[in-house]
Amino acid sequence: MLSSSSSDQNGTHDMILDQIRNGFQMKQDEQVLDLIVEFINTPKCSLDHLESLIHFLEMIMKRGLKSAVLKQFNYCRDVKLLRKTNHQQPFRPYDKRSNICTILIQFYLLLFTSTEPPSEALIHEFTTFIMESQCKKPCPLKDHVFVNYMLGLIHFKQIDNVVIGNDDQYFVVTDRDSEICQHHRLALAYFNKAISIQHNHAPSLFYLSLFHRSGTPFVNYVKWEQFLQLSADLGFAEAQYGVAKVYEKNNALQRSFTFNHMKMVVHYYSLAAAQCHAPSLYELGKIYHDGKILGGDRMRVEKDLLKAFHYYAQAAEMGYVKALVEMACAFRDGNHEANISQNVSKALWYFGRAAQLGNEESRRQYELLKRAKFMDGFQTILFQYCVGEKDNFFDFRDVTIVVHDMIQENSSPLYSFQLLTDELSKLA
């Protein structure tokens, strides 16, 4: 770790930030977490560093250190447990002795690491904290770009019918006949304020682009394309994924994008994938898996299964269901081109993880594969039939061989017919 006795504080900060970046690139995530904690506790750590630190925390959480990060910052999912034992005391999800960066990180983790919208109690506590801190020097919290972004994101997550990242609906969905709710207006106001403070704030530009893609009275396709492209070029992974989708879809809204489609699709997916964006990793895997033709110029990406499963594996590590299914199928069947040997135990693990995340087909495959671990040769053929690997027909040669063996052992062809019937009834 770095010495705190350095005479040049700015130099020390730059050194720690460089170590954080290098550690992340080398996948030394535990050291990155330690360095972030050390950096936050230095006297000169400011709000200007907050967004970069949270960015690295989010990425190492995606790579498997979520529990360690949440433990380090005293995170608790059940906000009720964060109340003081003395019920007369107000709800406090943070330690007042902590510096302001630590408190804001704690709030960020509480507000945005759950799939559920933040609770009203937590939102109230956060806004109260911001107002209580507004007179602090040199910059009131309410005038800081990242704080306004957080406030905008809070209200954005309260909007009904929001879809982000769906292949066909990468935008805010609202009923054009409905009245725009207060959360729409507040989210827009805070994102716009963040942009007014810092014109090139990529996350705020991205969320503003979503409003302009769909939702009365905000629809403006020119602004949507402008904000989405600008946010992507400023390095925001969600926006880079969105731009890649625009190129890939090649629909009417793509008319203003005139670059080489193939090159740009791979380019933007790759940029987002470098930031541990699981959907982009999966999409890159699909492109190399299929040797995909994209865009009107008919350019082709050569099929490369080693690359494809490299990307699938990374996305699967982050819990992306489609990638988990791809890995499960590869280990179930084996794939020599991808250098993947058949491994039923690994296939079960991937199917099981996808099932835990709500994928019903993976649950079915998991149950079938569990049975297959204990099957003999004939049962394995039946299993393959049931999961569709024989195109709904038995391979005549396989059945003939197995039935011949059974006849030899049992001296009666009726035995094999009865076994066939019994096994089909079990696995149907």
d(CA 95, CA 74): 9
Q: 0.85 cut: is pTM over it?
A: no
DSSP 81: G
Task: Please give the structure tokens belonging to residue 273.
Answer: 């994938």
**Are the C-beta atoms of 24 and 59 separated by less than 8 Å?**
yes
Q: What is the mean pLDDT of residues 402-418?
A: 48
- Residue-level pLDDT at 12: 63
Task: Please give the structure tokens belonging to residue 223.
Answer: 């602004």
The better pLDDT of the pair 323, 384 is held by: 323
Helices 360-372 and 321-333: crossing angle in degrees, nearest 10, is: 20
Q: How far is CA 263 from CA 170, 211, 302, 325, in A?
A: 21, 28, 13, 27
d(CA 372, CA 383): 7
pLDDT in tens, 217-275: 667 788 888 999 999 999 999 999 999 988 887 643 444 444 467 788 889 999 999 99
d(CA 124, CA 284): 41
The better pLDDT of the pair 185, 176 is held by: 185
> Is residue 211 pLDDT above 50, yes or no?
yes
The lowest-confidence range among 141-145, 199-203, 293-297, 306-310 is 293-297
CB-based burial, 157-194: b 16+ in 10 Å, e otherwise? bbbeebebeeeeebbbbbeeeeebeebbebbbebbebb
Per-residue confidence band for 189, with pLDDT thresholds at 50, 70 and 90: very high
Helix boundaries (H) for 168-256:
182-197, 202-213, 221-233, 237-249
Task: Please give the structure tokens belonging to residue 214.
Answer: 């769909």
- Residue-level pLDDT at 299: 54
Side-chain-side CA neighbours of 392 within 13 Å: the count stands at: 0
Per-residue confidence band for 213, with pLDDT thresholds at 50, 70 and 90: confident
SS3 300: strand
Task: Please give the structure tokens belonging to residue 114.
Answer: 């759950």
d(CA 381, CA 399): 8
pLDDT in tens, 23-61: 988 889 999 999 998 888 877 778 888 899 999 999 999
Q: What is the mean pLDDT of the chain?
A: 76
